[in-house]
Amino acid sequence: MPRTALVERNTLETRIRVELNLDGSGRGQFATCIPFLEHMLDQVARHGLIDLDIRCEGDLHIDAHHSVEDIGIGLGQALAQAIGDKKGLLRYGHAYVPLDEALSRVVIDLSGRPGLEFQVDFRRAMIGSFDVDLFHEFFQGLVNHAGMTLHVDCLRGRNAHHIAETVFKAFGRALRMALSPDPRMADVVPSTKGSL
């Protein structure tokens, strides 16, 4: 069964379309008018081996907050839809990713319980025209709607671009692990409760 999803989410603030294939080749296509976020989403696609197409029209004349948060929400909804009942999945994933002086760790549990621990300190508020506070909003929207527990820790780093890139690359790789099939579990939900 293909693990794909198409989600459209329209509000007074944004119009979002997210299409994904969890068993893709890492192809990313983005039209959000937020270039740095697109660069980060491309890391998720490439390192997660997820085909990801995200379109967003938002109220950027105000700022990028609504668009970034709603893209996280839409991606979370698409992940939940594509993952389905989680039978046969590893469920847990983790990754450490370095980039020069920066090193980040991401740990995921496809638990059905939304939770975010985001311990990332940036030394500056902006990367180009992108407000780094919005990364937390993106991941909060994502975990709330994907139903996952996510721990994101930047263990070291000085350059804000490097830090952000290690976070998103590690997220993609941890997600790829959590979504991988566990041949020993076959059609079993990976939980002692019998459901997630």
How much is the pTM? 0.95
The reply to whether 190 falls in a domain is no
User: What is the C-alpha separation between 52 and 29, in angstroms, rounded?
Assistant: 6
Looking at the 3D structure of the chain, how many domains does it have? 1
The reply to whether 186 falls in a domain is no
Question: For residue 1, what pLDDT is reported?
Answer: 79
State the burial class of residue 1 (Cβ atoms within 10 Å of its Cβ: 0-12, 13-18, 19+). Answer: exposed
**What CATH number is associated with residue 153?**
3.30.230.40
User: In this predicted model, what pLDDT tens digit does every residue of 106-119 receive, in sequence order?
Assistant: 999 999 999 999 99
The reply to whether 124 falls in a domain is yes
The reply to whether 98 falls in a domain is yes
Does the pLDDT of residue 183 top 90, yes or no?
no
User: In this predicted model, what pLDDT tens digit does every residue of 18-34 receive, in sequence order?
Assistant: 999 999 999 999 999 99
Got the DSSP string for 28-67? EEEESS-HHHHHHHHHHHHHHT-EEEEEEEE-TTT-SHHH
The reply to whether 119 falls in a domain is yes
pLDDT confidence tier of residue 38, bands split at 50, 70 and 90 = very high
Question: For residue 186, what pLDDT is reported?
Answer: 78
pLDDT confidence tier of residue 190, bands split at 50, 70 and 90 = confident
The reply to whether 193 falls in a domain is no
Full residue range of the structural domain in which residue 43 is found:
4-179
Question: For residue 155, what pLDDT is reported?
Answer: 98
User: What is the C-alpha separation between 117 and 41, in angstroms, rounded?
Assistant: 20
